[in-house]
Amino acid sequence: MPESGPSHSHAAPPLLGATQPRYGEVGIHGRGYLPHWEKDSGLYFITFHMADSLPNSVLKKVAERNRLLKAAKASGTRLLPEQEMELSEYSPRRMEEYFDRGHGSCALNDQRIAGALAAALRFRDGKQYRLLAWCIMPNHAHVVVRLLPGANLSAVLKTWKQYSSHAANQVLGRRGRFWRPESYDRLIRNEQEYLRAIQYVIENPVKAGLKNWPWVWSAES
C-alpha cells in the first residue's frame, strides 16, 4: 500500500540548500556538470528527474547557465545585470517550479511505476541509509536521507535508479533511459536546513496542485 505523509496548511519557505562546507571531512566530486559535496554518514536532500522532464531547449539553457557561472567564477568577473536576470530564469528554484508543472510523459503517475520506485527507496533502508522523508512526483522525486557509515551516495542513487527504471520500462514496454543521469544532492548541515528539507518534501504535492497524493512519506508521520 502507498504511504502518505501529513498535510500542512502553511507554505514551506524556499529550500536553498546548504552553503559550501568548510570542514575537512567533506569531499567534492563531479558526477556530471554539477559538483557534489559528500560526507561519510552525511544527511542529504536529493532530487532526481525523469529523462523527459525538461525539453531540449530548456536543457540547453541550463547548460549555458552553468557554463557562464563557471567561467565567471574562474575569471573573477561579475555578470552583467541583463545576464543575471536571464540566468535567474533557469536557477534551481525556478526549475523546481517548472518540474511541478508536469512536463513530459509523467510516467510516475502510474502507480505501478511509482510503487517500484517506493520499493527501491525502502529496500536498503536501515542497512545502507535511513530514510527521513520522500515524495514521488509525476516526473521527479525528492528524498531526505542519512547515509549509514560506509555507504556511498552515488552507489545508493544508482541502485534506486536502476531498479525503478527497469521496472518502469517493463510496465511501459520500452527500452532506453528513464531517469536523467544527473541528480541534485544538497548536504544538510544543521537542524534548520533539515526542517526546511522535510517540510519542502511533504508539502511539494500540495504546492503542485496534487490533491490526496499518495506517494509522500516522512518518518515523523
Q: Compute the distance between CA of residue 199 and CA of residue 193 in angstroms, rounded to an integer.
A: 10
Q: Among 82-91, 105-114, 212-221, where is mean pLDDT lowest?
A: 82-91
The DSSP element (H or E) to which 26 belongs, if any, is: strand 26-30
Question: What does 5-17 look like in DSSP terms, one character per residue?
Answer: ----SSPPPP---
Taking the C-alpha atoms of residue 108 and residue 113, their distance in angstroms, rounded to an integer, is 6
Same domain assignment for residues 91 and 200 = no
Asked whether residue 145 falls in the same domain as residue 200, the answer is: yes
Which of 80, 101, 122 is a domain's end point? 101
What is the count of structural domains for the chain?
2
At 138, the amino acid letter reads P
pLDDT, tens digit (0-9, with 9 covering 90-100), for 131-143 = 999 999 999 999 9
Residues 135 and 84 reside in one and the same domain: no
Say yes or no: 5 and 78 in one domain.
Answer: no
**pLDDT of res. 31:** 37
Asked if residue 83 and residue 59 are part of one domain, the reply reads yes
pLDDT at 91: 58
Whether residues 76 and 142 share a domain: the answer is: no
The reported pLDDT for the residue numbered 53 is 82
Q: Do both 167 and 64 map to the same domain?
A: no
Is there a single domain that holds both residue 49 and residue 62? Answer: no
Query: What confidence tier does 34 reach under pLDDT thresholds 50, 70, 90?
Result: very low
Question: Is 134 in the same domain as 150?
Answer: yes
Q: Are residues 74 and 178 in the same domain?
A: no
Whether residue 44 has pLDDT greater than 60: yes
For 175-200, write each residue's pLDDT tens digit: 999 998 888 888 998 999 999 999 99
Do 142 and 59 belong to one domain?
no
Q: Which domain holds residue 61?
A: 54-101
pTM: 0.70
pLDDT of residue 29: 37
C-alpha distances in angstroms, 214 versus 20, 143, 211? 34, 15, 9
Model pLDDT, residue 73: 74
